Amino acid sequence: MAEQNATSPNTAARIAVRKTYKLYIGGAFPRSESGRSYEVTAADGSFLANAALASRKDARDAVVAARGAFAKWSAATAYNRGQVLYRVAEVLEGRRAQFVDEVGAAEGLDARAAGLVVDAAIDRWVWYAGWSDKIAQVLGGTNPVAGPYFDFSIPEPSGVVAVVAPQHSSLLGLVSVVAPAVVGGCTVVVLASEERPLPAVTLSEVLATSDVPGGVVNVLTGRTAEVAPWLAAHMDVNALDLAGAAPADVQALEVAAADNLKRVRRPDPVEDWAAEPGLDRLRAFLETKTVWHPVGI
């Protein structure tokens, strides 16, 4: 971490410039409209930073931004989305050292272990980026209906996805829930790990400096129990990933989500973020559209 530099003899005179950790909404970095923040500590209990404590209003603003970005992002060609998302991986790689520091501090890992986690997160992003122009070829297809019709089914994005990010895996887990939603064309409001939010803020800086349009991914930091219910109940949110929701809260969030029949991805009993994820999360936020057309002279 930057603080460590201050203790080395050569740079003892220099005081590090610290970063303000803010929200990421619509491509901008606002503080919480509530003016609140909360203390984020490392795994060892030492102070790391004050993070913005997002409010109900921040969550609603984020949904507005995600909805605003949906039309263009979902209409982009799969090739274009793939290019843009692969670019994110390139920029992630360039920030590797910073992520290793932040993930190490947040998750209490030494540099080597944190490095492996960051590598896996970058590779996970690349894996999902590559799916953009292949999802339809694997999940879609023609249907041999018994009549003179050409009939085919294609996947289409559900819309705005609210994501409760995993609480423990601050970067690999986060990437593993954000990437599958955006690669399919959805836009996302993600509520970062409550205790370990800093890698998420840095990820938002990566997104802001890649070619991802503002609003495609919006990042909130704060209290999961405070903000998640508003997202779950929001009538302009189409889907909900409960990966990081507390087991005791899942049922209430699902009940809230039922008001507009959000597609809900329940948390797995045991999430192994290091394992290859499969298509489950990709599929979770895709609709199937079937088109019929007559065949004849």
Sites of contact with other proteins (CB under 8 A): 78-79, 82-83, 86, 123, 126-127, 129-134, 137-138, 150, 279, 293-297
CB closer to other proteins out of 47 and 150:
150
CB of 294 to other proteins, least distance (A): 4
Query: For residues 198 and 51, what is the distance between their CA atoms, to the nearest angstrom?
Result: 8
Q: 233, 256 in Cβ contact below 8 A? A: yes
Query: For residues 92 and 191, what is the distance between their CA atoms, to the nearest angstrom?
Result: 20
Q: 187, 178 in Cβ contact below 8 A? A: no
CB of 134 to other proteins, least distance (A): 6
End-to-end CA distance of the chain: 71
Q: If we measure between CA atoms, which residue out of 243, 51, 273 comes closest to residue 166?
A: 243
β-pair partners for 164: 191
CB closer to other proteins out of 4 and 142:
142
CB of 154 to other proteins, least distance (A): 13
CB closer to other proteins out of 49 and 92:
92
CB closer to other proteins out of 198 and 206:
206
**Which structure tokens are listed for 15?**
């005081």
CB of 121 to other proteins, least distance (A): 13
CB of 173 to other proteins, least distance (A): 19
Q: If we measure between CA atoms, which residue out of 89, 112, 119, 153 comes closest to residue 292?
A: 153
CB closer to other proteins out of 38 and 149:
149
